[in-house]
A and B are shown apart, each in its own frame.
Chain A
């Protein structure tokens, strides 16, 4: 079998045909509350404890909340070397320092993808894994959605060239059957995983797309507990 980057999430690697393709871009999409953040954190955490420098960038959560929520599912981030598992809480910048519309949209805005890429190159140039959770708030730096799409494509391709295997998340509305919010994330990505949660079904996961690989195409149940995430597929 070709080399894969294992997520370390029980059952998920089997759905993916062994794991992510190295240096690939992988989209996790789903409605609010379906576990996108915990999937991303698990991928980052499992990389870091296996000696791969891993970076988690959160747009909406404070660092201490991430650490607390991860602990609930058995990921004790504080016990991992923080040069190996890096967290960048951009939420703090958004809450404390970047206030006006002009600042958000300015050339110097930290929310602009070219500036975020420069930041990653400065601080995490040797990263192997990166989780970006989520891309939705980054769009506010771009009044023109077409520019955002082009910049997002450029950003992801640059991360690939840096040798990073990326998970990024996007949130889709409850009523939608789409796998993207901006109509293009799923085209950029090498793999697309859809998470859904409904009263009648419970939690379900489906690998919607996996470039260059055989994978399981059905919806499969998954569970989130104090023992972590378990995709119920053997």
Chain B
């Protein structure tokens, strides 16, 4: 197993546990990528987009999402400019200062 395959798999296992491998393989299948090692920069960007959109954003809060995504960018070795340009993920409304007030119900 190459470094990038191993790192990707470890990343998925770290955040998802045992199901991580299956989710990664299916994401790659969806993109018709047969080898992680020979992915183009465009394919890496697509993998980053789909893993963040279809998976990480479905369970991570904003700060942990950013942390996980930065880790993924580093594993995929995507140049910073490229991923900032494609940064379409995760919009969030700012918190109101009184968010810990007692519920009225």
Whether the Cβ atoms of B100 and A49 lie closer than 8 Å is yes
Give the total number of A-B pairs whose CB atoms are below 8 A apart. Answer: 103
Whether the Cβ atoms of B22 and A98 lie closer than 8 Å is yes
B90 to chain A, nearest CB (A): 10
Whether the Cβ atoms of B19 and A108 lie closer than 8 Å is yes
Q: Contacting chain B: which of A76-84, A193-201, A210-218?
A: A76-84
Whether the Cβ atoms of A110 and B105 lie closer than 8 Å is no
A107 to chain B, nearest CB (A): 7
C-alpha spacing A88/B55, complex, angstroms: 10
Whether the Cβ atoms of B103 and A110 lie closer than 8 Å is no
Q: Could you say which of B15, B23, B102, B105 contacts A123, with CB atoms under 8 Å apart?
A: B15
Residue on B nearest A58 in the bound complex, by CB: B58
C-alpha spacing A45/B101, complex, angstroms: 12
Q: Could you say which of A81, A96, A106, A121 contacts B54, with CB atoms under 8 Å apart?
A: A96
Given A45-B103, A81-B99, A83-B64, does the pair A122, B93 have CB atoms closer than 8 Å? no
- Chain B residues bordering chain A, tally (CB within 8 A): 33
Whether the Cβ atoms of A92 and B92 lie closer than 8 Å is no
A-B pairs, 10 with minimum CB distance? A82-B61, A118-B17, A110-B19, A108-B22, A88-B59, A78-B93, A89-B58, A92-B58, A96-B54, A228-B105
Q: Please name 20 further chain A to chain B contacts, defined as beta carbons within 8 Å, in addition to the given A97-B27, A97-B30, A109-B19, sorted by A numbering.
A: A49-B99, A49-B102, A51-B100, A63-B58, A74-B104, A78-B93, A83-B61, A83-B64, A86-B59, A89-B58, A92-B58, A93-B58, A96-B30, A98-B22, A106-B22, A108-B21, A110-B19, A110-B23, A112-B19, A123-B15
A residues lining the B interface (CB < 8 Å) = 8-10, 42, 45-46, 49-51, 63, 74, 78-83, 86-90, 92-93, 96-99, 103, 106-110, 112, 114-115, 118-119, 121-123, 227-230
